[in-house]
Amino acid sequence: MISRYSRKELVKIWSEENKYKIWLDIEIAAAQAMEKYKIIPKGVSAVVRKKGKIKVNRIHNIEKKVKHDVIAFLTSITEQAGIKARYLHQGMTSSDVLDTSLNIQLIQSGEILLKDINKILLVLKKKAKKYKYTPCIGRSHGIHAEPITFGLKLASFYAEFKRNEKRLKDAIHEVSTCAISGAVGTYANIDPRIEIFTAKKLKLRPETISTQIIPRDRHAQYFTVLGIIAGSIERVSTEIRHLQRSEVYELQEYFSKDQKGSSAMPHKKNPILSENLTGLARMVRSYTIPALENIALWHERDISHSSVERNIGPDANITLDFALVRLANILDQMIIYPKKMLKNLNLTNGVVFSQEVMLKLTQKGISREVAYRKVQKIAKQSIDKNVDLLNLLIEDKEILKLVSEKELKKIFVYEKHFKNISRIFKRVFS
Protein backbone atom coordinates (compact mmCIF):
# COMPACT_ATOMS: atom_id res chain seq x y z
CA MET A 1 0.00 0.00 0.00
CA ILE A 2 1.56 3.28 -1.15
CA SER A 3 0.06 6.59 -0.05
CA ARG A 4 0.60 8.01 -3.55
CA TYR A 5 -1.96 5.52 -4.90
CA SER A 6 -4.34 5.46 -1.94
CA ARG A 7 -7.58 7.22 -1.10
CA LYS A 8 -8.51 7.93 2.50
CA GLU A 9 -11.85 6.10 2.39
CA LEU A 10 -10.27 2.75 1.52
CA VAL A 11 -7.26 3.30 3.75
CA LYS A 12 -9.62 3.81 6.68
CA ILE A 13 -11.35 0.48 5.99
CA TRP A 14 -8.03 -1.36 6.16
CA SER A 15 -6.72 0.54 9.16
CA GLU A 16 -5.88 -1.28 12.38
CA GLU A 17 -8.50 0.78 14.20
CA ASN A 18 -11.31 -0.29 11.86
CA LYS A 19 -10.20 -3.92 12.00
CA TYR A 20 -10.31 -3.96 15.80
CA LYS A 21 -13.64 -2.13 15.76
CA ILE A 22 -15.06 -4.93 13.61
CA TRP A 23 -13.57 -7.52 15.96
CA LEU A 24 -15.33 -5.81 18.85
CA ASP A 25 -18.63 -5.73 16.91
CA ILE A 26 -18.33 -9.47 16.29
CA GLU A 27 -17.56 -10.27 19.91
CA ILE A 28 -20.42 -8.09 21.15
CA ALA A 29 -22.89 -9.59 18.67
CA ALA A 30 -21.86 -13.11 19.73
CA ALA A 31 -22.19 -12.08 23.40
CA GLN A 32 -25.69 -10.72 22.75
CA ALA A 33 -26.62 -14.08 21.24
CA MET A 34 -25.19 -15.95 24.21
CA GLU A 35 -27.18 -13.72 26.55
CA LYS A 36 -30.33 -14.38 24.57
CA TYR A 37 -29.88 -18.13 24.89
CA LYS A 38 -28.80 -17.85 28.55
CA ILE A 39 -25.29 -19.12 27.97
CA ILE A 40 -23.72 -16.11 29.68
CA PRO A 41 -25.20 -13.58 32.14
CA LYS A 42 -27.18 -10.65 30.83
CA GLY A 43 -25.46 -7.30 30.60
CA VAL A 44 -22.07 -8.52 29.36
CA SER A 45 -22.47 -7.10 25.86
CA ALA A 46 -23.73 -3.75 27.20
CA VAL A 47 -20.75 -3.35 29.55
CA VAL A 48 -18.28 -4.27 26.82
CA ARG A 49 -19.96 -1.89 24.38
CA LYS A 50 -19.82 0.95 26.91
CA LYS A 51 -16.35 0.45 28.34
CA GLY A 52 -14.45 -1.43 25.65
CA LYS A 53 -12.41 1.07 23.66
CA ILE A 54 -10.05 0.39 20.80
CA LYS A 55 -6.50 1.17 21.90
CA VAL A 56 -4.28 0.14 19.02
CA ASN A 57 -0.95 0.81 20.71
CA ARG A 58 -1.97 -1.13 23.81
CA ILE A 59 -3.05 -4.12 21.72
CA HIS A 60 0.29 -4.06 19.90
CA ASN A 61 2.24 -3.89 23.15
CA ILE A 62 0.36 -6.89 24.54
CA GLU A 63 0.86 -8.79 21.28
CA LYS A 64 4.63 -8.33 21.57
CA LYS A 65 4.46 -10.46 24.72
CA VAL A 66 1.72 -13.02 23.93
CA LYS A 67 2.52 -13.35 20.20
CA HIS A 68 -1.20 -13.63 19.39
CA ASP A 69 -3.25 -10.78 17.96
CA VAL A 70 -6.73 -11.94 19.04
CA ILE A 71 -5.59 -12.74 22.59
CA ALA A 72 -3.91 -9.31 22.74
CA PHE A 73 -7.14 -7.69 21.59
CA LEU A 74 -9.29 -9.56 24.13
CA THR A 75 -6.82 -8.76 26.91
CA SER A 76 -6.97 -5.07 26.06
CA ILE A 77 -10.79 -5.08 26.09
CA THR A 78 -10.85 -6.96 29.40
CA GLU A 79 -8.55 -4.37 30.96
CA GLN A 80 -11.18 -1.74 30.24
CA ALA A 81 -14.45 -3.61 30.57
CA GLY A 82 -13.56 -5.52 33.73
CA ILE A 83 -14.41 -8.99 34.96
CA LYS A 84 -17.56 -9.37 32.85
CA ALA A 85 -15.41 -9.40 29.71
CA ARG A 86 -14.29 -12.92 30.67
CA TYR A 87 -17.49 -14.15 29.03
CA LEU A 88 -16.38 -12.89 25.63
CA HIS A 89 -15.23 -15.39 23.01
CA GLN A 90 -16.96 -18.36 24.71
CA GLY A 91 -16.47 -21.44 22.54
CA MET A 92 -15.06 -19.34 19.70
CA THR A 93 -11.76 -19.62 17.90
CA SER A 94 -9.59 -16.82 16.56
CA SER A 95 -10.58 -17.60 12.99
CA ASP A 96 -14.23 -16.96 13.84
CA VAL A 97 -13.25 -13.37 14.49
CA LEU A 98 -10.52 -12.99 11.87
CA ASP A 99 -12.41 -14.51 8.95
CA THR A 100 -15.70 -12.80 9.69
CA SER A 101 -13.84 -9.52 10.08
CA LEU A 102 -11.97 -9.97 6.80
CA ASN A 103 -15.23 -10.60 4.99
CA ILE A 104 -16.73 -7.43 6.43
CA GLN A 105 -13.70 -5.44 5.27
CA LEU A 106 -14.04 -6.93 1.79
CA ILE A 107 -17.73 -6.01 1.73
CA GLN A 108 -16.96 -2.46 2.87
CA SER A 109 -14.30 -2.14 0.18
CA GLY A 110 -16.45 -3.78 -2.47
CA GLU A 111 -19.29 -1.33 -1.89
CA ILE A 112 -16.96 1.60 -2.54
CA LEU A 113 -15.54 -0.12 -5.63
CA LEU A 114 -19.10 -0.47 -6.94
CA LYS A 115 -19.55 3.29 -6.54
CA ASP A 116 -16.30 3.81 -8.45
CA ILE A 117 -17.48 1.59 -11.29
CA ASN A 118 -20.77 3.46 -11.39
CA LYS A 119 -18.88 6.72 -11.97
CA ILE A 120 -17.09 5.15 -14.93
CA LEU A 121 -20.38 3.82 -16.32
CA LEU A 122 -22.00 7.26 -16.13
CA VAL A 123 -19.10 8.92 -17.96
CA LEU A 124 -18.91 6.22 -20.64
CA LYS A 125 -22.64 6.32 -21.26
CA LYS A 126 -22.62 10.10 -21.64
CA LYS A 127 -19.59 10.11 -23.95
CA ALA A 128 -20.77 7.12 -26.00
CA LYS A 129 -24.07 8.84 -26.80
CA LYS A 130 -22.30 12.10 -27.63
CA TYR A 131 -19.95 10.40 -30.10
CA LYS A 132 -22.44 7.77 -31.25
CA TYR A 133 -21.97 8.61 -34.94
CA THR A 134 -18.48 10.13 -34.87
CA PRO A 135 -16.60 8.21 -37.59
CA CYS A 136 -13.24 6.66 -36.83
CA ILE A 137 -11.23 3.74 -38.10
CA GLY A 138 -11.55 0.33 -36.54
CA ARG A 139 -8.18 -1.38 -36.22
CA SER A 140 -7.37 -5.06 -36.35
CA HIS A 141 -3.83 -6.06 -35.31
CA GLY A 142 -3.14 -2.31 -35.18
CA ILE A 143 -3.93 -2.06 -38.92
CA HIS A 144 -6.80 -0.10 -40.43
CA ALA A 145 -9.71 -2.49 -40.86
CA GLU A 146 -13.17 -0.96 -41.40
CA PRO A 147 -15.01 2.16 -40.23
CA ILE A 148 -16.60 2.28 -36.78
CA THR A 149 -17.66 5.17 -34.56
CA PHE A 150 -15.92 6.46 -31.48
CA GLY A 151 -19.18 6.09 -29.63
CA LEU A 152 -19.22 2.40 -30.47
CA LYS A 153 -15.74 2.03 -28.99
CA LEU A 154 -16.91 3.68 -25.76
CA ALA A 155 -20.06 1.55 -25.71
CA SER A 156 -17.85 -1.53 -25.77
CA PHE A 157 -16.03 -0.27 -22.67
CA TYR A 158 -19.37 0.47 -21.00
CA ALA A 159 -20.65 -3.06 -21.59
CA GLU A 160 -17.45 -4.50 -20.12
CA PHE A 161 -17.67 -2.41 -16.97
CA LYS A 162 -21.35 -3.28 -16.67
CA ARG A 163 -20.29 -6.92 -16.57
CA ASN A 164 -17.65 -5.99 -14.01
CA GLU A 165 -20.33 -4.41 -11.87
CA LYS A 166 -22.28 -7.66 -11.86
CA ARG A 167 -19.14 -9.71 -11.20
CA LEU A 168 -18.28 -7.55 -8.20
CA LYS A 169 -21.80 -7.74 -6.78
CA ASP A 170 -21.63 -11.52 -7.07
CA ALA A 171 -18.19 -11.56 -5.43
CA ILE A 172 -19.40 -9.39 -2.54
CA HIS A 173 -22.31 -11.77 -2.05
CA GLU A 174 -19.87 -14.69 -2.09
CA VAL A 175 -17.82 -13.33 0.83
CA SER A 176 -20.84 -12.12 2.83
CA THR A 177 -20.64 -15.05 5.23
CA CYS A 178 -19.97 -15.40 8.93
CA ALA A 179 -18.38 -18.31 10.80
CA ILE A 180 -18.86 -18.68 14.57
CA SER A 181 -18.37 -22.44 14.70
CA GLY A 182 -15.42 -23.07 17.02
CA ALA A 183 -12.07 -24.76 16.77
CA VAL A 184 -12.65 -27.06 13.77
CA GLY A 185 -16.10 -25.99 12.71
CA THR A 186 -18.08 -28.61 14.65
CA TYR A 187 -19.85 -26.26 17.10
CA ALA A 188 -18.63 -28.58 19.87
CA ASN A 189 -18.29 -25.71 22.34
CA ILE A 190 -20.71 -23.20 20.93
CA ASP A 191 -24.39 -23.33 20.02
CA PRO A 192 -25.01 -22.99 16.23
CA ARG A 193 -27.72 -20.48 17.09
CA ILE A 194 -24.97 -18.05 18.14
CA GLU A 195 -23.67 -18.04 14.59
CA ILE A 196 -27.15 -17.48 13.13
CA PHE A 197 -27.83 -14.57 15.50
CA THR A 198 -24.40 -13.02 14.96
CA ALA A 199 -24.60 -13.31 11.19
CA LYS A 200 -27.99 -11.59 11.14
CA LYS A 201 -26.70 -8.84 13.43
CA LEU A 202 -23.75 -8.23 11.12
CA LYS A 203 -25.91 -8.48 7.95
CA LEU A 204 -24.12 -11.64 6.84
CA ARG A 205 -25.09 -15.25 6.10
CA PRO A 206 -23.95 -18.18 8.27
CA GLU A 207 -21.20 -20.08 6.47
CA THR A 208 -22.64 -23.32 5.05
CA ILE A 209 -19.78 -25.37 6.44
CA SER A 210 -16.50 -24.13 7.82
CA THR A 211 -13.47 -26.03 9.06
CA GLN A 212 -11.64 -23.68 11.34
CA ILE A 213 -11.85 -21.10 8.61
CA ILE A 214 -14.25 -19.79 6.01
CA PRO A 215 -13.37 -21.62 2.76
CA ARG A 216 -10.92 -19.59 0.66
CA ASP A 217 -12.54 -20.29 -2.68
CA ARG A 218 -14.88 -17.45 -1.74
CA HIS A 219 -12.00 -15.03 -1.36
CA ALA A 220 -10.31 -16.34 -4.49
CA GLN A 221 -13.41 -15.36 -6.44
CA TYR A 222 -13.39 -11.87 -4.93
CA PHE A 223 -9.73 -11.18 -5.75
CA THR A 224 -10.04 -12.74 -9.19
CA VAL A 225 -12.88 -10.33 -9.95
CA LEU A 226 -10.66 -7.45 -8.84
CA GLY A 227 -8.06 -8.77 -11.28
CA ILE A 228 -10.59 -8.86 -14.12
CA ILE A 229 -11.66 -5.29 -13.36
CA ALA A 230 -7.99 -4.29 -13.43
CA GLY A 231 -7.73 -5.93 -16.86
CA SER A 232 -10.62 -3.77 -18.07
CA ILE A 233 -8.89 -0.67 -16.72
CA GLU A 234 -5.75 -1.57 -18.63
CA ARG A 235 -7.74 -2.23 -21.82
CA VAL A 236 -9.19 1.29 -21.76
CA SER A 237 -5.87 2.81 -20.71
CA THR A 238 -3.98 1.07 -23.51
CA GLU A 239 -6.52 2.33 -26.04
CA ILE A 240 -6.07 5.90 -24.81
CA ARG A 241 -2.30 5.56 -24.97
CA HIS A 242 -2.40 4.29 -28.57
CA LEU A 243 -4.85 6.94 -29.72
CA GLN A 244 -2.71 9.72 -28.21
CA ARG A 245 0.39 8.75 -30.19
CA SER A 246 1.64 11.65 -32.35
CA GLU A 247 0.96 9.88 -35.64
CA VAL A 248 -2.59 9.00 -34.50
CA TYR A 249 -3.62 11.79 -32.09
CA GLU A 250 -7.35 11.12 -32.11
CA LEU A 251 -7.65 12.00 -28.45
CA GLN A 252 -5.57 13.29 -25.57
CA GLU A 253 -5.48 13.12 -21.81
CA TYR A 254 -6.40 16.45 -20.26
CA PHE A 255 -3.29 18.60 -19.87
CA SER A 256 -3.63 21.35 -17.28
CA LYS A 257 -2.35 24.91 -17.76
CA ASP A 258 0.85 24.60 -15.74
CA GLN A 259 1.44 20.91 -16.36
CA LYS A 260 4.80 19.79 -17.75
CA GLY A 261 5.47 16.80 -19.98
CA SER A 262 9.05 15.80 -20.61
CA SER A 263 11.79 17.29 -18.43
CA ALA A 264 13.92 17.60 -21.57
CA MET A 265 11.41 18.27 -24.39
CA PRO A 266 8.96 21.13 -23.75
CA HIS A 267 6.66 20.15 -26.60
CA LYS A 268 5.60 16.80 -25.18
CA LYS A 269 2.24 15.91 -23.65
CA ASN A 270 2.59 12.35 -22.39
CA PRO A 271 -0.31 9.98 -21.52
CA ILE A 272 1.16 9.51 -18.05
CA LEU A 273 -2.11 8.83 -16.25
CA SER A 274 -3.05 5.98 -18.60
CA GLU A 275 0.46 4.59 -18.36
CA ASN A 276 0.19 4.75 -14.59
CA LEU A 277 -3.09 2.82 -14.70
CA THR A 278 -1.48 0.15 -16.87
CA GLY A 279 1.11 -0.41 -14.14
CA LEU A 280 -1.42 -0.39 -11.30
CA ALA A 281 -3.58 -2.89 -13.18
CA ARG A 282 -0.64 -5.27 -13.35
CA MET A 283 -0.23 -5.04 -9.59
CA VAL A 284 -3.89 -5.81 -8.87
CA ARG A 285 -3.88 -8.77 -11.26
CA SER A 286 -0.78 -10.17 -9.58
CA TYR A 287 -2.76 -10.60 -6.36
CA THR A 288 -5.11 -13.13 -7.95
CA ILE A 289 -2.48 -15.91 -7.96
CA PRO A 290 -1.79 -15.95 -4.20
CA ALA A 291 -5.56 -15.69 -3.58
CA LEU A 292 -6.09 -18.81 -5.69
CA GLU A 293 -3.20 -20.59 -3.94
CA ASN A 294 -4.83 -19.85 -0.57
CA ILE A 295 -7.65 -22.27 -1.39
CA ALA A 296 -5.53 -25.34 -0.63
CA LEU A 297 -4.75 -25.16 3.09
CA TRP A 298 -3.70 -28.07 5.31
CA HIS A 299 -6.54 -30.10 6.79
CA GLU A 300 -8.92 -27.88 8.79
CA ARG A 301 -6.58 -24.86 8.66
CA ASP A 302 -3.06 -23.54 8.62
CA ILE A 303 -1.95 -19.92 8.58
CA SER A 304 -0.11 -19.83 5.26
CA HIS A 305 -2.97 -17.71 3.93
CA SER A 306 -2.72 -15.17 6.74
CA SER A 307 0.40 -13.29 5.61
CA VAL A 308 -0.93 -13.31 2.04
CA GLU A 309 -4.25 -11.75 3.00
CA ARG A 310 -2.63 -9.14 5.24
CA ASN A 311 -0.91 -7.93 2.07
CA ILE A 312 -3.37 -8.44 -0.73
CA GLY A 313 -6.46 -7.45 1.26
CA PRO A 314 -5.58 -3.78 1.60
CA ASP A 315 -3.30 -3.51 -1.42
CA ALA A 316 -5.65 -4.95 -4.03
CA ASN A 317 -8.69 -3.03 -2.84
CA ILE A 318 -6.94 0.29 -2.21
CA THR A 319 -5.02 0.18 -5.50
CA LEU A 320 -8.09 -0.75 -7.54
CA ASP A 321 -10.13 2.00 -5.90
CA PHE A 322 -7.49 4.56 -6.82
CA ALA A 323 -7.26 3.24 -10.38
CA LEU A 324 -11.02 3.29 -10.94
CA VAL A 325 -11.36 6.87 -9.72
CA ARG A 326 -8.40 7.95 -11.86
CA LEU A 327 -9.90 6.26 -14.93
CA ALA A 328 -13.26 7.97 -14.39
CA ASN A 329 -11.49 11.34 -14.29
CA ILE A 330 -9.44 10.59 -17.41
CA LEU A 331 -12.53 9.60 -19.37
CA ASP A 332 -14.47 12.62 -18.16
CA GLN A 333 -11.75 15.13 -19.04
CA MET A 334 -10.13 13.62 -22.14
CA ILE A 335 -10.03 15.75 -25.27
CA ILE A 336 -11.52 14.21 -28.41
CA TYR A 337 -10.45 15.17 -31.95
CA PRO A 338 -13.22 14.09 -34.39
CA LYS A 339 -11.54 15.83 -37.35
CA LYS A 340 -8.35 13.86 -36.81
CA MET A 341 -10.41 10.67 -36.57
CA LEU A 342 -11.94 11.43 -39.96
CA LYS A 343 -8.54 12.29 -41.40
CA ASN A 344 -7.13 8.97 -40.21
CA LEU A 345 -10.16 7.19 -41.58
CA ASN A 346 -9.36 8.62 -45.03
CA LEU A 347 -5.65 7.96 -44.69
CA THR A 348 -5.67 4.71 -46.64
CA ASN A 349 -7.56 6.02 -49.67
CA GLY A 350 -10.67 3.90 -49.30
CA VAL A 351 -9.08 0.44 -48.98
CA VAL A 352 -11.23 -0.02 -45.86
CA PHE A 353 -14.10 -0.72 -48.28
CA SER A 354 -12.30 -3.67 -49.89
CA GLN A 355 -14.55 -6.30 -48.30
CA GLU A 356 -17.70 -4.72 -49.75
CA VAL A 357 -16.10 -4.59 -53.19
CA MET A 358 -15.17 -8.26 -52.94
CA LEU A 359 -18.66 -9.23 -51.80
CA LYS A 360 -20.22 -7.25 -54.63
CA LEU A 361 -18.08 -9.15 -57.14
CA THR A 362 -19.20 -12.49 -55.69
CA GLN A 363 -22.79 -11.36 -56.05
CA LYS A 364 -22.07 -10.72 -59.72
CA GLY A 365 -21.14 -14.33 -60.33
CA ILE A 366 -17.43 -14.84 -59.73
CA SER A 367 -15.93 -17.04 -57.02
CA ARG A 368 -14.85 -15.62 -53.68
CA GLU A 369 -11.27 -16.73 -54.31
CA VAL A 370 -11.05 -14.92 -57.63
CA ALA A 371 -12.77 -11.83 -56.23
CA TYR A 372 -10.41 -11.79 -53.23
CA ARG A 373 -7.28 -11.97 -55.42
CA LYS A 374 -8.55 -9.27 -57.75
CA VAL A 375 -9.46 -6.80 -55.00
CA GLN A 376 -6.30 -7.58 -53.03
CA LYS A 377 -4.15 -6.76 -56.06
CA ILE A 378 -5.85 -3.43 -56.69
CA ALA A 379 -5.86 -2.53 -52.97
CA LYS A 380 -2.10 -3.13 -52.88
CA GLN A 381 -1.69 -0.74 -55.80
CA SER A 382 -3.79 1.83 -53.96
CA ILE A 383 -1.56 1.60 -50.90
CA ASP A 384 1.74 1.51 -52.79
CA LYS A 385 0.91 4.38 -55.15
CA ASN A 386 -1.17 6.37 -52.61
CA VAL A 387 -4.09 6.45 -55.01
CA ASP A 388 -7.82 6.18 -54.20
CA LEU A 389 -9.05 2.61 -54.44
CA LEU A 390 -12.29 3.76 -56.03
CA ASN A 391 -10.45 5.41 -58.94
CA LEU A 392 -8.37 2.29 -59.57
CA LEU A 393 -11.50 0.14 -59.58
CA ILE A 394 -13.22 2.45 -62.06
CA GLU A 395 -10.16 2.27 -64.31
CA ASP A 396 -10.21 -1.53 -64.26
CA LYS A 397 -12.14 -2.81 -67.30
CA GLU A 398 -12.71 -6.29 -65.86
CA ILE A 399 -14.30 -4.78 -62.76
CA LEU A 400 -16.51 -2.42 -64.76
CA LYS A 401 -17.83 -5.33 -66.81
CA LEU A 402 -19.26 -6.74 -63.58
CA VAL A 403 -19.98 -3.67 -61.45
CA SER A 404 -21.02 -0.25 -62.71
CA GLU A 405 -19.34 2.97 -61.62
CA LYS A 406 -22.55 4.00 -59.88
CA GLU A 407 -22.62 0.75 -57.90
CA LEU A 408 -18.98 1.18 -56.92
CA LYS A 409 -19.52 4.72 -55.66
CA LYS A 410 -22.39 3.53 -53.47
CA ILE A 411 -19.97 1.18 -51.72
CA PHE A 412 -17.60 3.97 -50.67
CA VAL A 413 -19.89 5.54 -48.09
CA TYR A 414 -19.02 5.47 -44.37
CA GLU A 415 -22.60 5.80 -43.18
CA LYS A 416 -23.43 2.32 -44.47
CA HIS A 417 -21.22 0.92 -41.74
CA PHE A 418 -23.24 2.70 -39.09
CA LYS A 419 -26.71 1.46 -40.00
CA ASN A 420 -26.84 -0.91 -37.02
CA ILE A 421 -25.27 1.39 -34.44
CA SER A 422 -28.64 2.22 -32.85
CA ARG A 423 -29.47 -1.47 -32.58
CA ILE A 424 -26.14 -2.14 -30.81
CA PHE A 425 -26.63 0.84 -28.50
CA LYS A 426 -30.09 -0.40 -27.59
CA ARG A 427 -28.61 -3.74 -26.54
CA VAL A 428 -25.83 -2.09 -24.54
CA PHE A 429 -27.79 0.64 -22.78
CA SER A 430 -31.24 -0.88 -22.35
Catalytic residue numbers? 141, 262
Angle at 26 between CA 183 and CA 168, to 5 degrees: 95
